[in-house]
Amino acid sequence: MSTAVPFTLYDPGLMAAWAEQVWAEAGAQGSASSLAATWTADTVLAAHEITYDARCVMPQTIPFASDNDDLFKDSDAP
């Protein structure tokens, strides 16, 4: 698999299910923990919204144009 991109890399149904689950949990408990972040829930008109505070997230250490395009490696990897 080192030379192929997994087809499941982008699964909109799975992403929507994850967002709805986090929204429901955060709405019921005030916040939800997922993907190493604490999420809060809100509703904007009829849309469900989840947000987290990313001010303490360290950005990558190299310019975007020089980051690693290999999906199997971290963006900062040489």
Whether the pTM exceeds 0.75: the reply is: no
Say how many C-beta atoms besides its own lie within 10 A of residue 56's C-beta.
5
Kindly tell me if the per-residue pLDDT of 66 is higher than 90: no
Q: What is the CA radius of gyration of the chain?
A: 16
Say whether pLDDT at 52 is over 80: yes
Residue the block writes with tokens 């144009």: 65
Q: What pLDDT is stored for residue 71 in this prediction?
A: 66
Instruction: Please give the average per-residue pLDDT across 33-56, as a whole number.
Output: 92
Per the CB < 8 A criterion, the answer to whether 34 and 50 are in contact is: no
| Of 73 and 55, more confident | 55
How far CA 56 is from CA of 29, 37, 52, 53, 59, in Å, comes to: 23, 11, 11, 8, 9
Residue with tokens 């001010």: 55
Q: What is the pLDDT of residue 57?
A: 75
Q: Specify the pLDDT at position 17.
A: 95
